[in-house]
Amino acid sequence: GQNIDQPTEMTATEGAIVQINCTYQTSGFNGLFWYQQHAGEAPTFLSYNVLDGLEEKGRFSSFLSRSKGYSYLLLKELQMKDSASYLCAVPTGANNLFFGTGTRLTVIP
C-alpha cells in the first residue's frame, strides 16, 4: 500500500524561505509529484522528481531522497500569493496518483 505524511499546516513570513516536508511509503517507486492548490481552486502541477537530488525551478525547488522515502518543497522569497495547500503525491500502479492530505501554508506580512 501507500502512505504519505505531510505537516497539516505551516505559517511563514513574506520574503522568507519555507521547507515543506513529505515522507512516503510506496511499493514500486515511480517518482513523486508536488501540486499547489489555492483555496477553492484546482490543483496545479509544480514538480515531478524521479531521481535523487534537488531540482530548481525559479523560486520553487523540490528535493528527493529515494533511500529515505523523503521529499521536500522549498519556497524562496515567499509572496502572499504562495498561501495555498501543497500536495505531495506518488504514482501507484499504472493508473492512480495517491495524494497526501496536503500542507496548508499561510504567508503572513
The binding site for other proteins (CB under 8 A) comprises 4, 30-31, 33, 35, 40-45, 48, 50, 87, 89, 91-102
Q: What is the DSSP string of 69-92?
A: TEEEEEE-S--GGG-EEEEEEEEE
Those residues whose C-beta lies under 8 Å from the C-beta of residue 9, and which sit 6 or more positions away, are 103, 104, 105, 106
Q: Specify the residue, 25 or 101, whose C-beta has the smaller distance to other proteins.
A: 101
Least distance in angstroms from the C-beta of 69 to other proteins:
17
8 Å CB contact between 19 and 71:
no
Least distance in angstroms from the C-beta of 22 to other proteins:
12
Phi, psi at residue 21, to the nearest 5°?
Answer: -95, 155
Q: Specify the residue, 51 or 109, whose C-beta has the smaller distance to other proteins.
A: 51
Q: Specify the residue, 64 or 78, whose C-beta has the smaller distance to other proteins.
A: 64
8 Å CB contact between 31 and 50:
yes
Least distance in angstroms from the C-beta of 16 to other proteins:
26
Q: Specify the residue, 40 or 109, whose C-beta has the smaller distance to other proteins.
A: 40
Least distance in angstroms from the C-beta of 31 to other proteins:
5
